[in-house]
């Protein structure tokens, strides 16, 4: 099944996507409790309100995320991105653990929403990813049980202010404001059974592609990630909890962002950073398409430099 979200009478509502129609779930429905009961699609349709046409609707992120852990699991992306740094070798620690950082769940935007330029940013980038959406909470999960806690999958674009990110990460923390303005999620939550035709062992062979203003930028397969989603979820839950609505991002696929291409070009920014008016389109087999255009963002309100005490 596929689920989307939209506004109805000013309220966030999730809906089953069926035959180019949106079937809104009854108000107050917990989607994750519904999916845990494993109903058939016909049964869900019978519970829903009168359908509305999918075409022309402004879709919202299909879930309201409780937290977002974003991993970095594609070796091609890591290797290319490191080429543009002072130390171009991939650190050995990357091969030892599936590293992630926490990003802002309040910054999620819908699959066709405009994305604002981050305040003070002049080097704006996108990152083509897939997110697993946790449906059943758990703690300290084993890899072999982690997949059963995934409710579905969605396209995820981790928008990145590269100049802000590089500046703040010199301190040894982050990224923070470099990733804080927007992340796209959508257009649907697609349940795992929908993706079974693409299964390769513990992962799915989904083609991932991105273009800017209609010009192809990169393409890869989700199956090329160095860790599977069950492995990522197990690591995310180590010594702590994952809860329903938490997102686990795959990290950027190979050739799925500009900074990797710049690294391979010896630091030359070709293609150029995103500018106001640019449109980024991402497509993933079985998950759909998202398309966001860059608009002007908020102004920078200065914060003073540190008060030195020594």
Average pLDDT value for residue range 170-196: 96
> Going along 191-296, which residue ranges are E strands?
199-200, 203-204, 207-212, 215-221, 241-242, 247-249, 279-284, 288-295
- Please report which confidence band the pLDDT of residue 86 belongs to, taking 50, 70 and 90 as the band edges: low
The per-residue pLDDT of the chain, averaged, comes to 96
Q: Tell if the pTM clears 0.95, that is, is over it.
A: yes
Inter-residue contact 127 to 257 (CB < 8 Å) = yes
Question: Is residue 31 within a helix (H) or strand (E), and if so which, with residue range?
Answer: helix 31-36
Tell me which residue of 129, 120, 179 sits closest to 153, measured CA to CA: 129
The pLDDT value given to residue 88: 74
Tell me: pLDDT of 138 over 80.
yes
Beta strands 279-284 and 207-212 are antiparallel
Average pLDDT value for residue range 37-65: 96
152/139 Cα distance (integer angstroms) = 19
- The domain ranges of the chain are 2-53, 68-295
Tell me: pLDDT of 9 over 90.
yes
Question: Is residue 144 within a helix (H) or strand (E), and if so which, with residue range?
Answer: helix 143-146
The pLDDT value given to residue 123: 98
Tell me: pLDDT of 16 over 90.
yes
Tell me: pLDDT of 194 over 70.
yes
Inter-residue contact 126 to 275 (CB < 8 Å) = no
Residues 232-276 have pLDDT tens digits of: 999 999 999 999 999 999 999 999 999 999 999 999 999 999 999
Helix, coil or strand: residue 33? helix
Peptide bond between residue 242 and the one before it cis (omega within 30 degrees of 0) = no
The pLDDT value given to residue 89: 82
54/35 Cα distance (integer angstroms) = 21
> What is the Cβ-side half-sphere exposure of residue 286, based on CA atoms within 13 angstroms?
21
Average pLDDT value for residue range 138-154: 98
Q: What is the largest CA-CA distance in the chain?
A: 69
Residues 17-49 have pLDDT tens digits of: 999 999 999 999 999 999 999 999 999 999 999
The pLDDT value given to residue 66: 98
CATH class of the domain whose range is 68-295: alpha beta
């Amino acid at each position: 099944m596929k689920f989307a979200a939209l506004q109805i009478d000013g309220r966030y509502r999730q809906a089953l996507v069926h035959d180019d129609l949106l079937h809104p779930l009854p108000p107050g429905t917990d989607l994750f409790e519904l999916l845990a009961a494993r109903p058939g699609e016909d049964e869900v349709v019978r519970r829903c309100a009168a359908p509305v046409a999918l075409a022309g609707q402004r879709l919202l992120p299909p879930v309201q995320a409780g937290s977002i852990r974003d991993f970095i699991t594609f070796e091609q992306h890591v290797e290319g991105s490191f080429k543009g740094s002072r130390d171009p070798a991939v650190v050995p620690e990357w091969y030892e653990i599936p590293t992630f950082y926490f990003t802002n769940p309040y910054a999620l935007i819908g699959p066709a929403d405009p994305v604002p330029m981050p305040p003070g940013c002049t080097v704006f980038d996108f990152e083509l990813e897939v997110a697993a959406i946790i449906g059943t909470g758990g703690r300290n999960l084993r890899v072999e049980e982690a997949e059963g806690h995934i409710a579905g999958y969605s396209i995820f674009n981790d928008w990145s202010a590269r100049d802000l990110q590089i500046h703040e990460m010199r301190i040894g923390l982050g990224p923070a404001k470099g990733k804080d303005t927007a992340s796209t999620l959508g257009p649907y939550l697609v349940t795992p059974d929908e993706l079974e035709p693409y299964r390769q062992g513990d992962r799915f062979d989904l083609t991932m592609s991105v273009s800017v203003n209609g010009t192809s930028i990169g393409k890869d397969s989700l199956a090329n990630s160095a860790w599977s989603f069950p492995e990522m979820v197990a690591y995310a839950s180590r010594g702590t909890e994952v809860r329903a609505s938490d997102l686990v991002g795959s990290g950027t696929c190979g050739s799925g962002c500009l900074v990797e291409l710049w690294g391979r070009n010896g630091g030359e920014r070709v293609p150029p950073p995103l500018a106001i008016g640019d449109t980024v389109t991402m497509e993933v087999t079985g998950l759909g398409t998202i398309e966001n255009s860059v608009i002007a963002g908020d102004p920078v309100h200065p914060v003073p430099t540190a008060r030195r005490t020594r």
